[in-house]
Amino acid sequence: MKMELQINKEQKFHFKSLDAIRTIAFMSTFLAHSFGSDDATLKSSQTYQAVMTVRGFFSFGVPVFFVLSGFLITFLMLKNQESNRFSLKDFYKKRILRIWPVYYAVVIFGFFIFPLIRSWTLGLPTYENASLGMYLAFLSNFDQINNGVLPFGVALGPTWSVSIEEQFYVFWPLLVLLFPKRRFGSSILAVLLISTIVSIIFLLPGTHTVFAMIYLSVGAYFGYLSFYNKWNINEKMTRLNPLWMLFILVLSLLFFWYNFLPKPISVLIFSAGISLFMLFQCYSPRFSLSKIKILENNGKYTYGLYLYHSIAIFIIHTLLRNVLKMDESSSLVLIYIPFLSLLLSYVIARLSYRYFESYFLKLKPK
């Protein structure tokens, strides 16, 4: 009984320690989106160009979210399956309660409220190039691929990754039922192999579901390994020198940034490195990001932060530039707008979690 209690505590700690990685993933996404200007003079300055160059290195946020999702969802499904508590209906209910409320709130804002705000503040037409039906059906990633450009509604841009996640949630539990328990590992590797080959042959964009399955299935396979080999992994991660882990992490990021190999292969290597880092965080007592409370405690808000941050950036950008008529300076574009946008994103996400999302989350046990 004591051993069982210890395992339960360790599993809770494993998931809790990944909240810090969620926060880092959001911050990287925010930094990749928060700087921008149309002023030709400012864009030609060395400071602005240097910031734009550095900004490109923060594009790993959404891929990390994908790897995390694959890992956690797979681990939890296998855990419930082993204890005979896995229910397809319960799984879908919980995902709906977590994903749908904020997602549809953002879609409604993007299609019906934002065009009016844009017309009022910027004098632009209320026309939207995105398809409402595609967004309602969690197919926004394919709509953006078909259009070749982002939707006019800034709130709608980030939804492509949520659509991929939802498509993954529909497909993945069925795979668990077809290939139960230890046989599931072979099916994960098959999905990974097929996704990689198809992405290479057809040159799929990163927003395509098949391409994103590389991130998700790599994370899922490490979740599978973690579940069935927790004691062996625990021993290896405990003994692993943090400097080696840092080297693996940096090497993984280099493959992601510079594409030494075909993009799908580089993504596979990156995902494996991120997954190893996640296992290191879960099992190693050394250099745990969970000890950094500002990262750990804000992990639960990252879903809202991710979906709301584009709205916050637009609000601050429009308020300072178009309403208050502030000059387009380096300090405005590179300091004040990003800082105030992050602050507003956090306020909106906290309020949303407390007064909106929590209502639905409380329904999960019911």
**Mean local confidence (pLDDT), 200-206:** 97
Q: Are 270 and 214 in contact (CB under 8 A)?
A: no
| Residues near 235 by beta carbon (within 8 Å), at least 6 away in sequence | none
Cα–Cα dist 67/278, whole Å: 9
Residue 152 has pLDDT above 80, yes or no: yes
Q: Are 271 and 67 in contact (CB under 8 A)?
A: yes
Residue 63: CB atoms within 10 A of its CB come to: 24
Residue of 270, 141, 166 lying closest to 214 (CA atoms) = 270
Q: What are the DSSP calls for 63-100, one per residue?
A: HHHHHHHHHHHHHHHHHHHHTT---HHHHHHHHHHHHH
Give the pLDDT score at 183: 87
Q: What is the mean pLDDT of the chain?
A: 91
**Mean local confidence (pLDDT), 1-8:** 36
Residue of higher predicted confidence among 176 and 130: 130
Give the pLDDT score at 17: 80
**Mean local confidence (pLDDT), 331-348:** 96
| Residues near 174 by beta carbon (within 8 Å), at least 6 away in sequence | 88
Q: Are 175 and 76 in contact (CB under 8 A)?
A: no
At residue 264 the predicted structure's pLDDT band, cuts being 50, 70 and 90, is very high
Cα–Cα dist 342/350, whole Å: 12
Tokens 């209502």: give the residue: 359
Half-sphere exposure in the Cβ direction for 144 (13 Å, CA): 24
Give the pLDDT score at 263: 97
At residue 257 the predicted structure's pLDDT band, cuts being 50, 70 and 90, is very high
At residue 16 the predicted structure's pLDDT band, cuts being 50, 70 and 90, is low
Q: Are 184 and 177 in contact (CB under 8 A)?
A: no
Please count the residues of the chain: 366
Q: Is the dihedral of CA 164, 170, 175, 176 positive or negative?
A: positive
At residue 6 the predicted structure's pLDDT band, cuts being 50, 70 and 90, is very low
Q: Are 35 and 51 in contact (CB under 8 A)?
A: yes
Residue 85 has pLDDT above 50, yes or no: yes
Cα–Cα dist 109/224, whole Å: 38
Residue 216 has pLDDT above 90, yes or no: yes
Cα–Cα dist 121/315, whole Å: 10
**Mean local confidence (pLDDT), 112-124:** 90
Q: What is the pLDDT of residues 288-339, one digit of tens each?
A: 898 999 999 999 999 999 999 999 999 999 999 888 999 889 999 999 999 9
Residue 54 has pLDDT above 70, yes or no: yes
Least confident of 77-86, 191-200, 272-281: 77-86
Q: What is the pLDDT of residues 225-245, one digit of tens each?
A: 999 988 888 888 888 999 999
Q: Helices in 159-229 by DSSP H: which ranges?
A: 159-178, 184-202, 209-228
Half-sphere exposure in the Cβ direction for 248 (13 Å, CA): 17
What amino acid is encoded at 320 in this protein? L
**Mean local confidence (pLDDT), 127-139:** 96
Give the pLDDT score at 115: 93
Residue 256 has pLDDT above 60, yes or no: yes
Token reading at 62: 């959404």
Q: What is the pLDDT of residues 157-183, one digit of tens each?
A: 999 999 999 999 999 999 988 987 788
**Mean local confidence (pLDDT), 122-127:** 86
At residue 14 the predicted structure's pLDDT band, cuts being 50, 70 and 90, is very low
Q: Burial-class residue 129 by CB neighbours within 10 Å (0-12, 13-18, 19+).
A: middle
DSSP state of 22: H
Residue 121: CB atoms within 10 A of its CB come to: 15
Cα–Cα dist 312/306, whole Å: 11
At residue 199 the predicted structure's pLDDT band, cuts being 50, 70 and 90, is very high
